Chains A and B, each alone.
Chain A
Amino acid sequence: MTIEINPPDVTVFAPTLPRTFDTHRQTWQAPAKLTVSVLLHAGYYLDIPEPGQYRALLMPGGVGGSYSELPGGPEAGQVAKVSQYEFGLTNGVDRLLRIAASHGVPCAVALDAYGCQRVPGLARRMAETAGEIVARGEAATSIIDSRMSVQDERDYITSSLAAVREATGADVTGWFSPERGCTDRTTGLLAEAGLSWFGDWTVDERPVPLEGAASGLRSVPFSLDTEDAFQIYTRNGTFIDYEQLLNDTIDRLLADADIVGPRFLGLSWAGWVLGQACYADVADRVLARIAADPDIRVVLPSQVI
């Protein structure tokens, strides 16, 4: 007997995502206790959205003063926020790549269409330096939104993908939606576009092959809880706490691997956040620790299978 508890207009579970639970499934087969991937974000921030674009109501960053603007405050001229995100493209992402290279850690870089088309040399430089290029939609400020028609969403994905592929010359197989924006259809459309993995569903500690319309696509989960923008900006943590959080996470995942099998940790870092000089040592020390541990392997996200 099933007791009727859900109204007809409710979708209870995310479509295409199999529901499996750690102690009720086969162990993930991986050659190390802990597999780590590093994904660096180099998103482009537009002060004013262009017609037809959707943006998140709240995004981390900005002046961060002691009060919020009143409702109906200025929509344009947010120089602080525009330039803060731009820092990731001028300084931050390069600093993080340099740090990773010094530890022999390969990184993926997520680029969007605007960054590739409007920022001179960014795509070329990232293609030369990053281990993998990931498509990150149209712009940090242009996201997938449920008000889109299916064709608009399909066009958003295919045109973003084409822009990143063309500018970098890279064989892009992975996707990360800005602000993790999606609809019921997104995973199916990503599979339809020929992508093999995406990173924005922070749902598990191992890769998850999707089902149904998204068959052929796997979720490589880049954890929200260990994301720099989330902890340092959204949650207002200190960089000291953040480093401790990362080390605690790694310690526990290594220990858990003996109980529930190999674990995956996706580190999602933004050039404009952890690439700041005052925060970058966290990346330096954590990557040094990861690189030195024989129980940890570091691979590119496309290699997480």
Chain B
Amino acid sequence: MLSPNERMLYAPMSERPRVTWPNGASVAFWHAPNVEHYDWLGPTVRRPANRVTPPDAEHYMHRDSGNRTAFWRMLRSVDKYQMPSTVSLSLSILQEQPEVRDAMLERDWEIMSHGISNLRPLFGYTPEQEHAFFEISQKLAVTYYDGRPIKGMLGPRISSTYATADIMVEHGMTYFADFVHDEHPRPILTESGKKLVNVPYSFTLNDVPMVLAKSHPKSYLVDLVKAQIDRCLRDAAQDGQGRVVCLATHPFVMGQPNAAAYLEEIFDYVRTTEGVWATTAGAITDHFLDNFYDEQVAYARDLAAEHAGATR
């Protein structure tokens, strides 16, 4: 079985063939709101936070307020800027919180699986359990989301097994966002050879690690996004390589009343900066698969063969 190290088919940005975006854009920007559900009492030994013996009301209510109020405030900002969004979704919400589901569907949000619940990580799953997990995931989407199957996943709590990439492609998925090793989509190798790519997600342009965990002010997320887009645009102008920038948000953080102005400042920057293609993870994946995947794999294979020859 391939390890995560082996799945990342190496080729450096500085030497690989170019990847470009539609209409001459230099940066593909995708907004990934994480709309999550945390069980009141999760499976055995799983705690929402390493704090009190479950139930942890402080944690649960904070997260649940994200879906009751903050999500709707975030939607108002999304609507104002017509920001395409790829929702990293706890899929239980499709069945159990129809109001939230319908609001996303009305806006044509793309669903990226984020597991069933964010207290049910995939660590330790057997292949049979993972197959069942993906089968239920697709069934939830097809049943409750206009018959649309899910194209990709960000593992619940960024969890996976060594078999996850191999199993998700068997269930029709084409992208896996847990890998953050590039500013391009990159091929993720699978045992079957079925095509899978990573779409660069971010643990830096992400409100949970930056604002909630590290306690930076929400304005700092604005600084980070602007700095990331600016540098990517300048680098693209120099080397001709399109780049991907992801903003990961969570309603219980950037949907708070004190955060709305900063979120809108980011959206405004994205919408008013020339050369930025605001899109979805699925659209980035499709564009890459249709135009660049085969060439990139061939290049990386040649590089690996050359390396093997040199080190033999």
Which candidate, B75-83, B92-100, B173-181, B266-274, is the interface stretch facing chain A?
A: B173-181
Asked whether, in the complex, the Cβ of B47 is within 8 Å of the Cβ of A70, the reply is yes
Asked whether, in the complex, the Cβ of A79 is within 8 Å of the Cβ of B160, the reply is yes
The yes or no answer to B297 lying at the interface (CB within 8 A) is: no
Which candidate, B109-117, B286-294, B304-312, is the interface stretch facing chain A?
A: B304-312
Given contacts A77-B123, A83-B178, A86-B181, contact A277 B235 (CB under 8 A): yes
Given contacts A63-B158, A120-B11, A236-B215, contact A83 B4 (CB under 8 A): yes
Q: Which residue from A74, A80, A95, A118 sits with its C-beta under 8 Å from B180? A: A80
Chain A residues with Cβ below 8 Å from B186 are 90
> Once bound together, how far apart are the Cα atoms of A74 and B206, in whole Å?
23
Given contacts A46-B5, A91-B13, contact A65 B208 (CB under 8 A): yes
Given contacts A67-B50, A120-B304, A238-B216, contact A125 B12 (CB under 8 A): yes
The yes or no answer to A10 lying at the interface (CB within 8 A) is: no
Chain B residues with Cβ below 8 Å from A79 are 4, 155, 158, 160, 178-179
> Could you give, for residues 217-230 of chain B, a 1 whenever the CB lies within 8 Å of some chain A CB and a 0 otherwise?
00010011101101
B217: nearest chain-A partner, CB-CB: A238
For window 266-292 of A, CB contacts with B under 8 Å fall at 276-281
Chain B interface residue count: which class?
Answer: 35 or more
The smallest C-beta distance from B64 to any residue of chain A, in angstroms, reads 15
The smallest C-beta distance from A191 to any residue of chain B, in angstroms, reads 29
The yes or no answer to A48 lying at the interface (CB within 8 A) is: yes
Asked whether, in the complex, the Cβ of A277 is within 8 Å of the Cβ of B223, the reply is no
A positions within 8 Å CB-CB of B? 45-48, 62-68, 70, 73-74, 76-80, 82-84, 86-87, 89-91, 94-95, 98, 117-122, 124-125, 167, 236, 238-240, 276-281
Q: Provide a sorted-by-A list of 15 A–B residue pairs whose CB atoms are within 8 angstroms.
A: A65-B213, A80-B158, A82-B4, A87-B180, A89-B12, A90-B182, A91-B182, A95-B235, A120-B306, A121-B307, A277-B227, A277-B232, A278-B205, A280-B231, A281-B227
